[in-house]
Structure 1
């Protein structure tokens, strides 16, 4: 897999820029993120293949991948929304191909952005005339019964509430970042929002992810789209956590005086009238990404139950971000 490294540096830089990072990121940093993302994708494929084998099939399904992240309800809800809008866009495209362009234009806006910021390519929105299909999961309680309770328009579950909170937080962050941008800068920001590991790069992504090596399953378009969604989420989480690590490090340097403390000088907390301008914000480094990954790998509370009991040479499994 060594020959596949470094193929997504531009996409990673764009994703990091949308997540709050500067536009100039070192090659070492992007290479480390790409290695982490590739490791996560291969782990997903390995576990999904095991789940498929338990069902007696060799081909992994979308449910196998979603089952791996079932404990992150907000992410599952965002993914289900992404797949729902993907189905709406596909239906609108089919209607357009069959001559229903005028009707599709009334019910669907192909130029609108994804309602969940930072989830890859835009998938469009709809108006109140069309209702997007809800993606069902086989482990949902409602799937245990042959008859379904009619859905109410005002019905919202906890997953949607968590997704809404996360989406609003990202929208607020994007609003703060774009508040002082001019038209050209905002256009670049909008283009970076469309960055994806898989969009129009399906063949390259399959080779990079290890299809045919990690798993013999041949992925369909839905599998590739889900992995593209999850890779975007991984880069976003790594960047946001790395920025927190760097902020703590910078605050500690300011309080301790940095290099000036070694020369016995006391640095002022507040800038003076004749102080030189502060240096431009430096990008996160590989050490920040490494620490962010370590934090994201910390086990949940239920995973630490009875962890004090000696178990010999116990190695904790990789945690999916």
Structure 2
């Protein structure tokens, strides 16, 4: 395979992904034994991770400059190396391995890819964010049928899957999101109670309506929302930390209040960290459940209304996600 392709490369550490990266042209080569060559068609945006990578602030990823970027992409196999038995030319595949996302072509070990039924962006969202949602809710949150489940950023890429998965298990879902459009979307997904944090107090509503009643609370925001979830966790409840968008600047708020143990001990409750990259052995089972739910029509995929194309669109997609305006999954069409 001869020719070149373009990719986004991290060339320096900076405050923003746009400032830290450049679009570069690289040589296209044939796959070595055990490798597959994929033409990427769509990539998924992970704006908070991307920003922290740009700042060299992701503890579990050791960055050596320069490096390519991006995590999620779906494409079609164009060539396979010697010894590759599970994939063939023409297969649609997804990768969720850094740095396979923000590039027009991806050459990597066959273990980096998962075969999907068709070359459609829905399967990218399901294989990446859908699996993450299932892992956070079911594996770390250990949700049980009929429980009360609170979810922050409920109208986002991750949140909109968790709302559906919890509602399908008969859970009473408390969805926290910002703005009337997002609130309406969360209701349509099956949320029993929606709290619009732009016009309502999450702290006050939970204290009045859900005192000590949150069996599972999954937070990706931090700050006062995390505090409210923790204060109202039920006996034997689980608060899952899946991110800290409010602390993106790298300067976590210093708070003075009773230690977290006082919120947990007498309830037998727990706070659990969700880091999907540490759960790769559980991905296949979660993927099977998510794919099955989508195929049966029980799980829907929502993409943000803003359309982004080409590698240049990745920068705009990241900034769109960080703005807090997106609803659903943010993706970029990489096709020429």
TM-score normalised by L of structure 1 = 0.24
Structure with more strand by fraction: 2
The higher-RCO structure (CA 8 Å, 6+ apart) is 1
Structure ID, larger Rg = 1
TM-score normalised by L of structure 2 = 0.23
Structure with more helix by fraction: 1
